[in-house]
Amino acid sequence: MERSATQDVLITLVVSALLIWIMPMLITTYTLTVLIIYGMLGLSLGLIWGFGGILCFGQAAFFGLGAYTYAIAAINIGESTVPMILAVLVPAVFAALLGAMMFYGRLTDVYLGVITLVVTLILFKFVNSTAGPQYVIGNARIGGFNGIPGFQTLNVPGDPNAYIWGVPYYYVCAVALVIVFLLVTWLLRSSFGRIAVGIRENETRMGLMGYDVAARKTVLFAIGAAIAGLAGALFANWGEIVTPNLFSLGQSAEIIIWCIVGGLGTRLGPIVGAAGLAYLKFMLGQQSMIDNTLIIGLILVLFVLFLPRGLVPAISGLFEATFGRARRRPAARRMRRARHG
């Protein structure tokens, strides 16, 4: 094996503690918070795509579902703990149903892409059309394209009046990301994770070994959705409003771009890609010379053409080449396979 599990956890904790401490000196915590949330969203797709070989064109659906679940539940319940839990569960259950339908139907590749994309569109169109007063869930009006504002934001569990916002909220999100990251690390080291990678590499073989490939892909898909849902709930708290744009194709596209740029088949890549590109977009938003959609698009094209492995594997490859620690990991090949199912 590579590093031992304890080493891995220790390094993660030290590095993330340093980052959590240093980053606010460079970027405002308000911006940092959303970068962290995007990082978590990137990780959710990085997990199922990079390690499970499931290319989902609709990861934004689970993100939006998490955000809406949180907002609607928070309005009805008036505190934040149960809504947070629901925001993780609802997307996970939804993904489990959708995944079971797709994977037991043995859909792969493009067909998976079409269905996830279509489901995202259905949610988007449906939520967008619920502007009328007749669309309510409990006390919450879904609000169509106006979204849902004015819900209860995060509070200390048990005390609905003790809101967590501003700098403390930044710490909450950062710690949440570290926890999710460690859970993903643990998952990938566990038998479940190793079997998932086996399935990514060769579904037929894993089936012939006796593994129920469809069931395992469904579970992994649901785990990815749960993480995306958590990110959605955190995003809802950060923005204090949820709108149908969370479900948009543009949002889904961005998640995929983060993974490509950061590097598939790594845990860190999608997080780095997400935070990096979101920050870049934020910086570009402050100038009007060049349209920032154009730049994001250009970045995607250039990466697919010239650096299809993504930043993190490329940099760590460079690092290893320089310092000569020849760990034999055919990352490029692993990537290629990951992407092509």
Partner 1 sequence: MAETVLETHALTMRFGGVTASDNVNFKLKARELRCLIGPNGAGKSTFFKCVTGLLTPTEGHVFMRGQDVTGWQPHQIASLGVGIKTQTPNVMDALSVHENIWLAARRFHAVAEARGRADDIIDRLALGAIARTPLGQLAHGERQRVELGIVAVADPWLVLLDEPAAGMSAQDVDRMTDIIHTLTHSAAVVIVEHDMQFIRSIAETVTVFHQGAVLMEDHVDRVMSDPHVRAVYLGKNA
Partner 2 sequence: MDLSFVILVEMLYAVASLVLISAGLAIVFGMMKVINLAHGEFMMMGGYATITAVGLGVNVFVAMLVIAPLVVGLIGLIVERLVIRHLYGRLVDTMLATWGLSLVFIGLATMIFGNTTTGISTPIPGFAVGGYQINGYNFFIIVVSIVLVIAMYAILRGTRAGLIARGTMQRSDMAAALGYSPDRIYMATFFCGSALSGLAGAVLAPLVGLVPTSGGAYIAEAFITVIAGGPSLIAGLVSSATAFGLVNQIFTFAISPVIGEVALLVAAVVLLRAMPQGITGRFFKDKM
291 binds, among partner 1, partner 2, none (CB under 5 to 8 A by kind): partner 2
Contact of 107 with 249, CB cutoff 8 Å: no
CA distance 318 to 324: 10
Q: Is 202 in the site for partner 1 (CB under 8 A)?
A: yes
Only segment of 16-24, 100-108, 155-163, 314-322 that touches partner 2 (CB under 8 A): 100-108
Cβ 68 to partner 1 shortest distance, Å: 36
CA distance 32 to 24: 7
| Number of chain residues interacting with partner 2 (CB under 8 A) | 44
Only segment of 26-34, 118-126, 161-169, 318-326 that touches partner 2 (CB under 8 A): 118-126
H or E segment to which residue 174 belongs = helix 167-189
- 54 Cβ neighbours under 8 A, 6+ residues apart: 48, 112, 217, 220, 221, 224
CA distance 221 to 27: 33
From residue 186 to residue 225, the character string flagging contacts with partner 2 as x (rule: CB under 8 A) and all else as - is ----------------------------------------
Interface with partner 1 in residues 310-339 (CB under 8 A): 328, 330, 333-334, 337
Which whole-number Å values give the CA distances from 306 to 26, 137, 275, 280, 321, in the listed order? 31, 48, 21, 20, 19
Q: Is 129 in the site for partner 2 (CB under 8 A)?
A: yes
Q: Is 54 in the site for partner 2 (CB under 8 A)?
A: no
Return the residue of 82, 89, 107, 307 that touches partner 2, per CB under 8 A: 107
330 binds, among partner 2, partner 1, none (CB under 5 to 8 A by kind): partner 1
Single out the residue of 175, 166, 169, 234 nearest to residue 16, CA to CA: 175
Q: Is 305 in the site for partner 2 (CB under 8 A)?
A: yes
- 279 Cβ neighbours under 8 A, 6+ residues apart: 27, 31, 35
CA distance 270 to 50: 9
Interface residues toward partner 1, by CB under 8 A: 191, 194-195, 197-198, 201-202, 204-213, 328, 330, 333-334, 337
Q: Which residues bind partner 2 (CB under 8 A)?
A: 55, 101-102, 105-107, 109-111, 113-115, 117-119, 121-122, 125-126, 129, 249-250, 253, 256-257, 260, 290-301, 304-305, 308, 339-341
